Structure 1
Amino acid sequence: MAIILIVEDEMFIRQSAEWTMEDLGHTILLASDLASALLHLSGTKQIDALFVDIRLKTLTFGGYDVANQAIRLQPGLRVLYTSGSSLSAEMTELFVGGGQFIQKPYSPAQLEHSIGELFH
């Protein structure tokens, strides 16, 4: 199973994603902002995937900032983006790390499917 860093500023959504991914057998690391995400990413532990909200309130480019810095620290990282907004061409142009997307609200089954796709 994978080590997945979830970066989401809304506690309930972060917790729900954590529980779903833990039920799938993944090891989960949590962050609510860029600073706490960077602490995880700069550690010695290899992280397999980043699950990040595109619209983090404290950052100009939100989850894109997190993903870009994450890829610099851990180049093989896979990235699954999420947002309550519909996916647009402008959004996908900024994707890194394989750049897959799941729209909020998502069900546990949809999240499970997206995580599976991320690793295939």
Structure 2
Amino acid sequence: MAVIVVVDDEAKIRQLVRAYLEREGHTVIDAATAAAAVELAGAADLMILDLGLPDRSGQEVAREVRRGADLPIIMLTARAGEAERIAGLRLGADDYVTKPFSPGELVARVAAVLRRTAGDAAAAELTSYGEGVLRIDTARREVNVDDRPVALTRSEFDLLTALAARPGRVWSRRELTSRVRGERDGDAAERAIDAHVKNLRRKLGDPPAAARLVATVAGVGYKLGLDRDD
């Protein structure tokens, strides 16, 4: 199942889409503004993006998100014209849905986009970092450090794979909370991320090496300290 960011300034639409997607087992994070959408993009597997946002246009959000990651995007708009659809697809949207829409159809389109993008993910199921120091098999949910298997909890594994998705990129606690727990904020949830990091480092190896592998960036969050192997 996927982590999906639903971006729309209408609360009723966000709630409706959330209900249908969660029924399918997805984790849903919602946002009402362009700024929030950009902030949460790094924690998502797919974004449902309304083009009519109050602070910036959805087109601008799509451009910025696509500069940072190849995140699948389904665009929502009240404009049904061919020109608008073509413009959205040229911006890199994976699909385009006009309002009013059927929630069931939207869920089906989400499933179709996730299936189409799964091919690239499958090719990268087994990934190594730091010249083989760290190896992650996402299909089997297995982790090896220096050829030593490491048993992780679900939250620890999800945290590590979130960091490994973009090595060197600094993730805030809020972003990691969204990715690991499906929650957007809250001091308790963010403190839980610190606890997961502590446990993860303990399992990965001796303190100096583990602290370099899952590195702290003071005042910001955490990053994976190894480069992805070619």
Question: What TM-score, normalized by structure 1, do the two folds share?
Answer: 0.83
User: 1:101-120, aligned counterparts within 5 Å?
Assistant: 101-119=96-114, 120=116
User: 1:1-120, aligned counterparts within 5 Å?
Assistant: 1-42=1-42, 45=43, 47-59=44-56, 62-74=57-69, 76-95=70-89, 96-119=91-114, 120=116
Can you list the C-alpha shifts for 1:37-81, whole angstroms capped at 9, x where unaligned?
A: 122125xx3x2111001121332xx1111111111222x210100
3-state SS of paired residue (2:58)? helix
Contact 2:41 2:47 in 1 (8 A): no
3-state SS of paired residue (2:9)? coil
Shift in Å, 1:108: 2.1
Amino acid at match of 1:20: Y
Shift in Å, 1:5: 0.9
Contact 2:85 2:96 in 1 (8 A): no
Contact 1:55 1:83 in 2 (8 A): yes
Contact 2:7 2:32 in 1 (8 A): yes
Judging changes above 3 Å, is the alpha-carbon distance between structure 1 residues 93 and 85 closer, same or farther for their aligned structure 2 residues?
A: closer
Judging changes above 3 Å, is the alpha-carbon distance between structure 1 residues 116 and 56 closer, same or farther for their aligned structure 2 residues?
A: same
Q: Percent of aligned positions with the same letter in both sequences? A: 28
Shift in Å, 1:8: 0.4
- The higher-RCO structure (CA 8 Å, 6+ apart) is 1
What RMSD over aligned residues (CA atoms) do the two structures have, in Å?
1.7
3-state SS of paired residue (1:101)? strand
Shift in Å, 1:91: 3.9
CA distance in 2, matches of 1:91, 1:13: 20
Contact 1:92 1:99 in 2 (8 A): no
CA distance in 1, matches of 2:88, 2:79: 15
CA distance in 2, matches of 1:35, 1:80: 18
CA distance in 2, matches of 1:67, 1:58: 14
Shift in Å, 1:114: 1.2
Which sections of structure 1, spanning at least 5 residues, go unmatched?
A: none
CA distance in 1, matches of 2:113, 2:81: 17
Contact 1:54 1:63 in 2 (8 A): yes
Judging changes above 3 Å, is the alpha-carbon distance between structure 1 residues 58 and 97 closer, same or farther for their aligned structure 2 residues?
A: same
Question: What TM-score, normalized by structure 2, do the two folds share?
Answer: 0.46
Shift in Å, 1:87: 3.7
Structure with greater helix percent: 2
